Amino acid sequence: MMEVITKLQPSPKLLLFESLSRRMHLSNKDKLTYLNLKKGYEGELLFSKLTENITGEGLILNDLLFEYNQTAFQIDCLIINQAKIFLYEVKNFEGDFYLENEKLFKKPRQEILNPLHQLSRAESLLRQVLLSLGYNTPIDASVIFVNPAFTLYQAPLDIPVIFPNQIHRHLEFVSNQSTSITSNMRRLAAKLLDLRKTEYPFDKPHYAYEELKKGIVCPTCGRGAVNSVKRSCICESCGHKESPTNAVLRSVKEFRLLFPERRVTTGEIYDWCGGVFSKRTVHRILSKHFKAVGVNRWTYFE
């Protein structure tokens, strides 16, 4: 079986846009950014599920951000086996596309950032990172198009691309090549993890606390009408049930993502949850799960 070293997680950027989309009206530009992020993530998720089912032995590292020589680069997925490293740039493009003079267009004629360029950049930078760590493991890099409704016209024979109907065969090939996990492979994976950056800097859209809708957002359907009934919270739209503790902790996470400069206090979280829980309940949950700093009404939580 494949061993997943780093699981795919939604990026803070996606989470931020998702949260905002549920609590305010997004501009068309921000809406498009959000939909593209979401679609990209869904594609990566689809591919990561497929790689987990590979029967061979190897290590999988998803979603890596590195910096080499002051150049940041991101890798969607790496599979390490004894012989080589497979590097994947995952794309969830949908529709008819064509290549012309190394440029990628969506029909009729909308230029899209060519993932082949992203791929060769990532491959070259990864090779330099590996060399700096003392490895010259060969890299097998490909752009992987996961959406079955994707078509690419005028594709040359020799481009490093895996089309939707080739994924299965490719993963079988990877599986047959992967026999066992060695300590050398583990060392390499550990070194790469050490170098990995966790901060993803990005431009935030404009938003202010006052203009956001308060309340508990349902984790299943994304709507806001969650009410607290006795010991559980129930979503009015889809009926999803969750404990108040979960609901409050999720809300705190969202609050911190959107407002890293604001302090987590009982009053703030009470307001952020839209008064669904009493101050007493909020205080009890915060005290249990965070460290309280300060006293009385100046208390905040870390």
Buried b (16+ CB within 10 A) or exposed e, 26-46: beeebeebbeebbebbebbbe
Between 248 and 264, name the residue whose CB sits nearer to Zn ion. 248
276 in contact with Zn ion (CB under 5 A): no
Considering the complex, what minimum distance in angstroms separates the CB of residue 65 from Zn ion? 32
Between 46 and 238, name the residue whose CB sits nearer to Zn ion. 238
Q: How far is CA 2 from CA 63, 128, 192, 221, 245, in A?
A: 16, 26, 18, 32, 35
238, 249, 263, 299: which one binds Zn ion (CB under 5 A)? 238
Tokens in use for 243?
A: 């404990």
Between 6 and 245, name the residue whose CB sits nearer to Zn ion. 245
Between 37 and 216, name the residue whose CB sits nearer to Zn ion. 216
The count of other CB atoms within 10 Å of the CB of residue 117 is 14
- Would you call 230 helix, strand, or coil by DSSP? coil
237 in contact with Zn ion (CB under 5 A): yes
225 in contact with Zn ion (CB under 5 A): no
Between 148 and 219, name the residue whose CB sits nearer to Zn ion. 219
- Is the Cβ–Cβ distance between 137 and 189 less than 8 Å? no
- Is the Cβ–Cβ distance between 59 and 186 less than 8 Å? yes
Nearest residue to 203 via CA among 15, 9, 13, 22? 13
Considering the complex, what minimum distance in angstroms separates the CB of residue 239 from Zn ion? 7
Considering the complex, what minimum distance in angstroms separates the CB of residue 242 from Zn ion? 10
- Is the Cβ–Cβ distance between 112 and 105 less than 8 Å? yes
Q: Which stretch binds Zn ion (CB under 5 A): 138-146, 239-247, 264-272, 273-281?
A: 239-247
Between 27 and 237, name the residue whose CB sits nearer to Zn ion. 237
Considering the complex, what minimum distance in angstroms separates the CB of residue 253 from Zn ion? 18
DSSP classification of residue 206: P
The count of other CB atoms within 10 Å of the CB of residue 97 is 20
Cα–Cα distance for residue pair 41/44, rounded to 1 Å: 5
77, 146, 233, 235: which one binds Zn ion (CB under 5 A)? 235
Q: Which stretch binds Zn ion (CB under 5 A): 76-84, 112-120, 204-212, 237-245?
A: 237-245
Between 46 and 221, name the residue whose CB sits nearer to Zn ion. 221
227 in contact with Zn ion (CB under 5 A): no
Q: Which of residues 205-224 bind Zn ion (CB under 5 A)?
A: 218, 220-221
Tokens in use for 291?
A: 């460290």
Kindly list the residues in this chain that would bind Zn ion in the complex (CB under 5 A).
218, 220-221, 235, 237-238, 240
